[in-house]
């Protein structure tokens, strides 16, 4: 169960969140929980979550070890702070910041090499769904994202299926649509990484997950968890989703 805070919350607001959230989920062992705040909130989040059952993730990682890449963050920087997870290829990065399947592949390779657990996002835009291209798009995104990565290297990979038309719009994919897309992704993962890998692969659903729809979505057999944006900003509503 992953929270994507996007560009929300200051360090003080981060501390407030964890003060309220941690007691609500302490002892919850059914699911892994990870919160991905903005980079500048990472120290506050890591400090607050120390010793708890909540892991902390970044929202992106550059593929180079270090160098003249103004505004970027390396795997080494994230690891030095104690970050364990990282979101890669979120649709907002693809839509607004020129992220491509190829840069997603570079970031993924680096994250896996460094020992970070990547949450790799894929998903179609509305025009692609309406044109009947969803399956093709998901297959293309997977093939390119996982190019030249071995099953052994990819062992910790988590995929998030996020239909772009459902992100922050209040429109959710029906549980059936989401499950269908997850099945396409799992089939593609079987082709690329093999059956055993695909059977153990965790695929999260993301896109307007709320306490009201979490149960019907996540109880679909194909859906292993959720990547939650807006509804993860409030400790009570994220708890309700975590404990669906
Ligand atoms: P949302 O965002 O839950 O606000 O739709 C999900 C995401 O973008 O990861």
Q: Which of 206, 231, 234 is nearest to 218 (CA)?
A: 206
Catalytic member of 32, 92, 128, 162: 162
Label residue 21 exposed, middle or buried (CB < 10 Å: 0-12, 13-18, 19+). Answer: buried
Q: Which residues line ligand 1 (CB under 6 A)?
A: 4, 162, 167-168, 206-209, 227-231
8 A C-beta contact, residue 205 and residue 182: yes
Q: List all residues 6 or more positions away from 44 whose beta carbon is below 8 Å from its beta carbon.
A: 11, 12, 14, 15, 37
Whole-number pLDDT of residue 24 = 98
Whole-number pLDDT of residue 29 = 96
Which numbered atom of ligand 1 lies nearest the CA of 92? Answer: 8
Told to judge if 162 belongs to the known catalytic residues of this protein, a careful annotator would answer yes
Block residue for tokens 């030095």: 80
112 has a pLDDT exceeding 90: yes
Q: How far is CA 158 from each of CA 38, 169, 188, rounded to the nearest angstrom? A: 20, 24, 14
- Positive or negative, the CA dihedral 144, 149, 182, 232 is negative
Bigger pLDDT: 97 vs 168: 97
189-197 average pLDDT score = 96
Q: Is 117 helix (H, G, I), strand (E, B) or coil?
A: strand
**How far away, in angstroms, is 68 Cα from ligand 1 center?**
31
Told to judge if 90 belongs to the known catalytic residues of this protein, a careful annotator would answer yes
Which numbered atom of ligand 1 lies nearest the CA of 228? Answer: 3
Q: What is the mean pLDDT of the chain?
A: 97
Dihedral pair phi/psi, residue 87, rounded to 5°: -80, 135
Catalytic member of 62, 85, 90, 182: 90
Which numbered atom of ligand 1 lies nearest the CA of 206? Answer: 6
Q: Among 163, 167, 237, which residue has the most ligand 1 atoms within 8 Å of its CB, making it the best to mutate?
A: 167
8 A C-beta contact, residue 228 and residue 206: yes
List, in order of start, the domains of the chain with CATH numbers. Answer: 2-242 (3.20.20.70)
**Element at 25 (helix H, strand E):** helix 11-25
Q: How far is CA 202 from each of CA 38, 74, 221, rounded to the nearest angstrom? A: 24, 25, 11
8 A C-beta contact, residue 235 and residue 17: yes
Distance CA 206, CA 34 (A): 14
32 has a pLDDT exceeding 90: yes
Block residue for tokens 């093709």: 136
171 has a pLDDT exceeding 90: no
213 has a pLDDT exceeding 90: yes
Residue 172: CA count within 13 A, CB half-sphere? 23
79 has a pLDDT exceeding 90: yes
Q: How far is CA 112 from each of CA 16, 88, 192, 227, rounded to the nearest angstrom? A: 32, 11, 16, 20
Which residue, by CA, sits nearest to atom 7 of ligand 1?
A: 229
Give the pLDDT band (50/70/90) at residue 170: confident
């Amino acid at each position: 169960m992953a929270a994507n805070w996007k560009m929300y919350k200051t360090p003080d607001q981060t501390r407030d969140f964890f003060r309220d959230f941690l007691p609500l989920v302490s002892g919850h062992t059914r699911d892994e929980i990870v919160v991905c705040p903005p980079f500048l909130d990472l120290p506050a989040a890591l400090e607050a979550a120390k010793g708890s059952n909540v892991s902390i993730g970044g929202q992106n990682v550059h593929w180079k070890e270090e160098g003249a890449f103004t505004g970027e963050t390396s795997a080494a920087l994230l690891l030095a702070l104690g970050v364990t997870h990282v979101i890669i290829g979120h649709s907002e990065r693809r839509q607004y910041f020129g992220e491509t399947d190829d840069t997603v592949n570079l970031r993924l390779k680096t994250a896996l090499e460094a020992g970070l657990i990547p949450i790799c996002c894929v998903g179609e835009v509305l025009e692609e769904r309406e044109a009947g291209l969803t399956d093709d798009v998901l297959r293309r995104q997977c093939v390119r994202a996982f190019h030249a990565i071995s099953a052994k290297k990819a062992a910790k990979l988590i995929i998030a299926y996020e239909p772009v038309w459902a992100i922050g719009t209040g429109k959710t994919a029906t549980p059936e649509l989401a499950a269908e897309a997850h099945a396409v992704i799992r089939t593609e993962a079987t082709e690329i990484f093999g059956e055993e890998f695909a059977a153990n692969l965790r695929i999260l659903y993301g896109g307007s997950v709320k306490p009201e729809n979490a149960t019907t979505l996540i109880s679909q057999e194909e859906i292993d968890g959720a990547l939650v944006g807006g509804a993860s900003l409030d400790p009570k509503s994220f708890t309700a989703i975590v404990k669906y």
